[in-house]
Homo-oligomer: A and B are copies of this chain.
Amino acid sequence: MNYLKQVVLLLACFFLSLNLIAQSHPSLMLTKVKLEEVRKGCQSYPLLKSSFQKIIADADLAISLPITVPIPKDGGGGYTHEQHKRNYNAMLNCATVYQISKDIKYANYVKNMLLDYANQYQKWPVHPKSKNQKDGGRIFWQSLNDFVWQVYTIQAYDLVFDALTTKDRTTIEQNLFMPILNFFTVDRQEVLDKIHNHGTWNLAAVGMTGYVLNKPEYVEMALKGSKKDGKTGYLAQINQLFSPDGYYMEGPYYQRYALLPFVMFAKAINNYEPELKIFEFRNKLLAKAIQTALQLTYTNKAFFPINDAIKDKTYESIELVYGLNIAYTDIKAEADLLDIAQQQERVIVSDAGLAVAKAIAEGKSEPFKYKSLWIKDGGNGDEGGLGILRSGANTNQQCLILKAASQGMGHGHFDRLNFLFYDNNQEIFYDYGAARFLNIDTKNGGGYLAENDSWAKQTVAHNTLVVDQTSNFKANVTAADAQHPDLMNFSAHPDLQVVSAKEENAYADVKLLRTVALVKVTESNKPLLIDVFQASSANEHQYDLPFWYKGQMVNTSFKVDAQRNNLQALGTQFGYQHLWLNAQNQLDENGGFVSVLNNKRFYTTHFVSDNPLQVKLVSIGANDPEMNLVDGKAFMLTQPKAKNQTFVNITETHGNIDPINETVSAASGNLTDLKLISSDENKTVISFKIKDKKYQYQINYNQKDNYVVLSQ
């Protein structure tokens, strides 16, 4: 066995060398064999044509300016940082235009810039703004950006390779790329071997450079880690960073980001070594990861902003353009991917982009198939996951996400069993995302703000239960990483979609179990969102359940009497220090409701519990001396002292206003008489009326097949 393994390895190395010797340029995204067809496509297929025209415009702008390769100095968002980013984009754009147009001036621009870098690179020490010696870059403040720079730059080099003299190639390879490979694999070896997105970018840069420079030993390091033992490296990363469903443990924002080096390097591997069948690896894992990334978006195009996430990031970002083009062309030509490509409004000027633009031009596009899904988390798929429930057409979709995934390391938030709710192309109950102004130098250099830890990661910043004003796992990442929620039930039945999950470790002596459902009833155009949150403990606790809403509160069952002056913070830690307590009401056992107007539609949340609730109205902004936080408002259901507590709430979507025609319809909800009949470890039973028709809704925690039952 051990002997056999060695043989296979040897054999693999043999093929590797063989292929590399026979290589031609370009051979990455754009290949020599497809060049003529892509050239023609840039004239004839509208999406490829407009994408190419955009690249020409960018390339022409670049070559109209002097080549500027400044000595690295500034952090994220600062001048030298942005200039070096502009440079790699300019090189790739010019190199692409050179191959399509055959105009040598574009190749010369790339050549001259590469020579400029080659002339300087070895003089640059680790970046002066680097935070530590372990992961500082030389061009950028963090080595991550250096890896990205190289992933793009090596493509540009591959594209202009044929236009360079042997002397220039030697200069560029010896003075720039080889020192870079050395920096990445020796100085940043620890990063290379890390099972983490920084590691992916490093190895993709190393592997792609290895292919283009015909240095198989670097390709091997990229695939199998610096020790070439397969314990780290590309294949190990695919195995460990993604769940069997293609979910990336850090969440959608980083899934998108991590995806690009995986996909680009896969394409390179597939071009150079098709016999490795990399796209088939781990049961077509890369295809799943791309599909899952798209399923982790709402119809507003944005990724679900769970964990550390910049909220305006959408599937229009370049990572998903590459991902989609390659998924369609190299993995499986699914017609609904073309819909997304049309929304992206661009393709990569490449072999893959050609195929996508051609298919769209041929009218093959179909509406994207958003799905209701349980997406498993964890390398083995056994560490919780994300439940996604959807209802309605793509133009008017309701979507509910239950976050029951693992912690996701340092970028994870302490929001076990958090939910997000969307409708009408808007956030209804939302996630704050990260406290960060990406690339805004004046805001902590564009990095994460202190409030990301003190606020955005804390449990109370989410739509989930907080016990004793303390975050899950007391906001300890190591403790949180060791535990995960578990799925109780999932059903995508169109009339009654359910996801239910439990978390028994976030608090020492409290078990959490949440069951959310989109429930169709004939009396309402839109499904009801029914949410039952059980907290069970042998001891007494305070339970807070906030609902972070967008829009304007326009009605409440209780009289709001907000604090007029001397506004106070609600607490001192775990995010509570950032909340202003605007108002507070004690309700009776009948519960109450809150109505919100959001994008011309009404949302009324009715709530009841087994113990009378308090409702607190809170807003973001206390203890924020630099005013880093973004405004936000929540209503928070509070039970100051109970052992077991079941929060029941139903959100109905109703009516609308038309400010143009000055009309309003169904401003009041149709749901009444919400009652919690019973709740224990076996079942929860509630009842409610809608337009005077009575319904009973029952959750059977121990019955897999009749987990949730709606009856009249």
Contacts and interface: CB of A to CB of B under 8 A. Distances in A.
Interface of A: 77, 82, 85-86, 310, 312-314, 316-318, 437-443, 446, 552-555, 560-562, 564-569, 580, 582-583, 595, 597, 617, 619, 621-627, 630-631, 657, 659-665, 667-668
A441 B664 CA distance: 9
Given A442-B668, A443-B554, A562-B626, 16 more contacts: A82-B664, A85-B663, A312-B660, A318-B661, A438-B657, A439-B657, A440-B554, A441-B668, A442-B555, A553-B627, A560-B627, A561-B625, A565-B569, A582-B621, A582-B627, A631-B631
B660 A437 contact: no
Contacts of A597: 437, 440
B564 A316 contact: no
A239 B480 CA distance: 74
A440 B662 CA distance: 10
A662 B81 CA distance: 12
Contacts of A665: 82
Nearest to A569: B565
A313 B626 contact: no
A605 to B, nearest CB: 15
A569 B562 contact: no
A567 to B, nearest CB: 4
A667 B441 contact: yes
Given A442-B667, A667-B77, A617 B627 contact: yes
Contacts of A446: 664
Given A77-B667, A85-B663, A630-B552, A657 B440 contact: yes
A86 B595 CA distance: 24
Nearest to A85: B663
A147 to B, nearest CB: 15
B663 A439 contact: yes
Contacts of A667: 77, 439-442
A611 B617 CA distance: 42
Contact of A627 (B313, B317, B565, B583): B583
B560 A569 contact: no
Contact of A623 (B565, B580, B617, B631): B565
- Of the listed residues A310, A560, A631, A660, the one surrounded by the most CB atoms of chain B closer than 10 A to its CB is A660
7 contacts: A85-B663, A316-B660, A440-B667, A560-B625, A560-B626, A561-B626, A562-B625
A181 B627 CA distance: 60
A341 to B, nearest CB: 15
Contacts of A664: 77, 82, 439-441, 446
A380 B640 CA distance: 67
Nearest to A86: B663
Contact of A622 (B438, B564, B568, B627): B564
A662 B627 contact: no
A661 B85 CA distance: 11
A335 to B, nearest CB: 25
Contact of A313 (B567, B657, B660, B668): B660
A449 to B, nearest CB: 12
A556 B589 CA distance: 50
A621 B619 CA distance: 11
A18 B596 CA distance: 58
Nearest to A658: B439
A580 B562 CA distance: 14
B564 A567 contact: no
Nearest to A440: B554
Contacts of A438: 657, 659, 662
Nearest to A443: B554
A582 B626 CA distance: 10
A569 B580 contact: no
A238 to B, nearest CB: 24
Nearest to A302: B659
Contact of A562 (B554, B624, B657, B662): B624
Contacts of A553: 627
B437 A554 contact: yes
Contacts of A316: 660
A568 B565 contact: yes
A622 B663 CA distance: 31
- Of the listed residues A77, A82, A318, A667, the one surrounded by the most CB atoms of chain B closer than 10 A to its CB is A667
- Of the listed residues A565, A617, A627, the one surrounded by the most CB atoms of chain B closer than 10 A to its CB is A627
A231 B617 CA distance: 55
Given A582-B627, A627-B582, A317 B660 contact: yes
A553 to B, nearest CB: 6
Given A440-B667, A627-B617, A631-B631, A659 B312 contact: yes
Contacts of A314: 660
Contacts of A624: 562, 564
Nearest to A313: B659
Nearest to A257: B662
